């Protein structure tokens, strides 16, 4: 048997000489090899064709040398599986022609069998695991229920998701019904990902930071806990509620192995709030990848010095941007790989 | 002489039985009386015509009963005064056809005399002060230099202002030149506002929360300090760097009288971080104004209980939304006015 991968060791809290590294959206538009496929196949064709999803997932492993692969897919496959149409407008983002606003809308959502309709994801995972041949572990993922609700109610991306929040605040019973349905489908879907070979699960709550502390406790945290409690007996779970810095204490009492951080959170603050109970992941500002390479290397060193090499996964604080030169992405990854504490 | 206004007392830290209350964007689209003027005059006509700006500024004082007026204007009058065209696309936001990206662009900006070109603001303030007749104090304002840079570089609103941040990170010398020029014009402009009668100055750093703690120290805080240091000898200054919760300690060492908070910051955290040295302002989630009125009243009470009645200004954590019923805005304001600690 191979020695265990760095990512798994970091998630288990084993002592390490340097942290593992991967980048959110590492299979993305900064890679010319990805652009070639993007120009040939539309978004959901890439997501729904196991061979294409596999090829895209492997690109950053082969080209950049990251320590983990993350499945190429999208969080909005869940609304699709539940019966809502999702259009992906290239360079503009998602659009859902029919949104959720009433009891009737919620009643019409598919729950039973919804996860099973996403079998193309299972196939993509199985194929990717085979191609990876244990080089690096494979991360599966889903959107967190609050974030999925945001898109289902708002129907598109938004700066503040006011409509979605107002739905939650003014009709909390409907909101919880909807969140429970999304959670049930998401749990079944993530178990299928693990069945197919996902080694780690990350849950992206991209919009939880729009909620205040009390509302986060009400509309996000219980559903993150449900997912984590169900999955974490099988694989390590990473929760990334972006912007919810105020909830670090609750998060550190969850069953998850790790918490993702954006770049506004100081490493010292996160360590103190989590009392070193969790592995922390993050939090390089993606905009900093435009710095000259020597400065990227310096900033990466400063970041790892602050987090330490144990219970830490080096990553960005958000997805890599399309205009980042490939050499800069490589420099980021190599700076982590070459890290040595003095 | 009249008794001093509640807002001024709160900013001075005098003991109070209930906090003063006003709402960001209180002169805005939720008011049918504002909509009438909006349908008749375009945005910059409303801003640049003293009689219209005055009328709009007074509307929430007369109709809602807030404890302070805030001048109807826009933070983007500063780029305009510095020679950049700003178009305001109704319901869509600002657009600057020519953006800043080079030394040449920065050299071409007007500094000398820029503030003087905004004399319509002085006239609007003088007129408003006369009409207010000391009923409530008048707040003047400007955007913070980092936020103004964001618009000057990006050319429009943006979720993450990646282009503006990348400009700062990759060309810090140019960024500081630009920030210094904006700061100089802003200081001159705010002194003119005080000369004309503004009783308090608020500085809006709407996008500072997109910066990490180190970058905030580099690209935002020094310029907030310069403005506050120059103005605070004359009038109380309120700094509102939205989303920069991690900078509360630096902010509490500034010369400002008060710090604005968004709804993600727990009152206890803010009090502890500022060691009760500053007046705090905020932080009701604007989306909560859609709650049923009894719940708004309950939430306002909870908020004031947590902040206390001293060194506190009740407000929203961001601007009021266009779809809020006028009765709900009134209920928010009245709940503060009727507050009595038990």
Q: Give the Cα separation of A208 and A205 in Å (integer).
A: 6
Q: Is B20 on the interface with A (CB under 8 A)?
A: no
pLDDT at residue B1, rounded to an integer: 41
Residue of A nearest to B210 (CA): A264
Q: Is B321 on the interface with A (CB under 8 A)?
A: yes
Record the tokens describing residue A59, joined without a space.
């690109």
Residue of A nearest to B299 (CA): A214
Q: Is A215 on the interface with B (CB under 8 A)?
A: yes
pLDDT at residue B89, rounded to an integer: 84
Are A246 and B263 inside 8 Å of each other by CB?
no
| Per-residue pLDDT tens digits for A194-245 | 999 999 999 999 999 999 999 999 999 999 999 999 999 999 999 999 999 9
State which residues of chain B have pLDDT below 70: 1-2, 342
Backbone angles phi, psi at A279, to 5 degrees: -75, 140
Q: How far is B135 from chain A (nearest CA, A)?
A: 34
Asked if B332 and B284 touch (Cβ cutoff 8 Å), the reply is yes
Are A213 and B166 inside 8 Å of each other by CB?
no
Tell me the three state secondary structure of residue A239.
strand
State which residues of chain A have pLDDT below 70: 1-2, 342
Asked if B223 and B146 touch (Cβ cutoff 8 Å), the reply is yes
Residue of B nearest to A158 (CA): B159
CA-wise closest residue to B211 among A288, A295, A296, A313: A288
- C-alpha distance from residue B296 to each of A166, A181, B315, B335 (Å): 13, 29, 13, 8
Catalytic annotation, pick one of A41, A74, A120, A135: A74
Q: Give the Cα separation of B131 and B126 in Å (integer).
A: 9
pLDDT at residue B3, rounded to an integer: 76
Neighbours of B14 (CB within 10 A): 12
| Per-residue pLDDT tens digits for B176-197 | 999 999 999 999 999 999 999 9
For residue A212, give the nearest of B243, B263, B292 by CB distance.
Answer: B263
Q: How far is B340 from chain A (nearest CA, A)?
A: 23
A49-88: burial string, b at 16+ Cβ within 10 Å, e else: bbebbbbbbbbbbebbebbbbbbbbbbbbbbbbbebebee
CA B132 to chain centroid, in Å, comes to 20
For residue B264, give the nearest of A166, A212, A269 by CB distance.
Answer: A212
Q: How far is A209 from chain B (nearest CA, A)?
A: 8
Could you confirm whether A119 is annotated as catalytic? no
Q: Is B299 on the interface with A (CB under 8 A)?
A: no
Are A264 and B285 inside 8 Å of each other by CB?
no
B331-341: burial string, b at 16+ Cβ within 10 Å, e else: bbbbbbbebee
In chain B, where the domains are located: 6-337
Within 122-181 of A, beta carbons closer than 8 Å to B belong to 157, 159-160, 162, 165-166, 169-170
Select from A264, A265, A307, A321 the residue whose CB has the most chain B CBs within 10 Å, as the one to mutate to test that interface. A264
Record the tokens describing residue A283, joined without a space.
């939090």
pLDDT at residue A2, rounded to an integer: 52
Compute the count of residue pairs across chains A and B with CB atoms less than 8 Å apart.
72
pLDDT at residue A1, rounded to an integer: 41
ipTM confidence = 0.94
pTM, full prediction:
0.96
Percent of chain A past pLDDT 90, that is, above it, reads 96
CATH topology of domain A6-337: TIM Barrel (3.20.20)
For residue B264, give the nearest of A170, A209, A321 by CB distance.
Answer: A209
Residue of B nearest to A299 (CA): B214
* A138-143 and A200-205 beta bridge pairing: parallel
Q: Which DSSP symbol is given to B16? A: -
In chain B, which residues have their Cβ closer than 8 Å to the Cβ of A306? none
Q: What is the dihedral of CA B188, B194, B196, B199, to 10 degrees?
A: 160
């Amino acid at each position: 048997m191979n020695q265990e991968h760095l990512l798994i060791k970091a998630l288990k809290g084993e002592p390490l000489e340097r942290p593992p590294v991967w980048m959110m959206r590492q299979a993305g538009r900064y890679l010319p090899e990805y652009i070639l496929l993007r120009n040939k196949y539309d978004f959901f064709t890439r997501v729904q064709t196991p061979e294409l999803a596999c090829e895209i997932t492997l690109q950053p492993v082969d080209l950049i040398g990251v320590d983990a692969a993350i499945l190429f897919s999208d969080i909005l496959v869940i609304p699709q599986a539940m019966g809502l149409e999702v259009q992906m407008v290239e360079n503009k983002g998602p659009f859902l022609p029919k949104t959720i606003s009433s009891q009737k809308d919620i009643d019409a959502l598919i729950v039973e069998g919804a996860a099973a309709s996403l079998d193309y994801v299972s196939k993509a995972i199985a194929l990717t695991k085979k191609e990876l041949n244990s080089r690096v572990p494979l991360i599966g993922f889903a959107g967190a229920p609050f974030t999925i609700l945001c898109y289902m109610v708002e129907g598109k991306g938004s700066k503040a998701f006011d409509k979605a929040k107002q739905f939650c605040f003014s009709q909390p019973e409907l909101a919880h019904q909807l969140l429970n349905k999304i959670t049930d489908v998401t749990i079944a879907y993530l178990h299928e990902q693990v069945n197919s070979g996902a080694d780690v699960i990350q849950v992206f709550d991209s919009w939880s930071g729009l909620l205040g502390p009390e509302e986060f406790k009400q509309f996000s945290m219980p559903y993150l806990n449900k997912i984590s409690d169900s999955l974490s007996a099988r694989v390590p779970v990473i929760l990334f509620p972006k912007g919810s810095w105020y909830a670090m204490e609750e998060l550190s009492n969850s069953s998850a192995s790790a918490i993702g951080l954006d770049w506004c959170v100081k490493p010292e603050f996160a360590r103190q709030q989590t009392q070193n109970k969790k592995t922390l992941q993050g939090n390089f500002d993606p905009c900093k990848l435009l710095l000259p390479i020597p400065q990227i290397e310096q900033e990466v060193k400063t970041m790892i010095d602050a987090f330490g090499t144990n219970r830490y996964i080096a990553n960005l604080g958000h997805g890599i941007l399309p205009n980042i030169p490939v050499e800069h992405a490589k420099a980021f990854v190599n700076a982590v790989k070459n890290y040595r504490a003095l």
